[in-house]
Copies of this chain bind each other. A is one copy, B any other.
Amino acid sequence: MTKKRIAIDMDEVMADSIARFQEWYGRDFQLELTLEALHGKNPRDVVAPEHQPALRAYPNAEGFFRDLPVIKDSQRVIKALSERYELFIATAAMEFPNSFLDKYQWLQKHFDFIPWPNYVFCGDKSILNANYLIDDNAYNFEHFRGEGLLFDAPHNALVTGYRRVHGWQEVADILL
Contact = CB atoms under 8 A, between A and B. Distances in A.
Contacts of A126: 129
Copies in the complex: 2
A101 B97 contact: yes
Contacts of A121: 93, 100, 119-122
A49 interface: no
A118 B124 contact: yes
A88 B119 contact: no
Interface size class of A (residues with CB under 8 A): 20 to 34
Interface in A92-146: 93-95, 97-98, 100-101, 104-105, 115-124, 126-130, 145
Among A90, A101, A116, A127: residue with most chain B CB under 10 A: A127
A118 B118 CA distance: 18
Contact of A129 (B98, B118, B127): B127
Nearest to A2: B143
B100 A119 contact: no
A50 to B, nearest CB: 29
A87 to B, nearest CB: 11
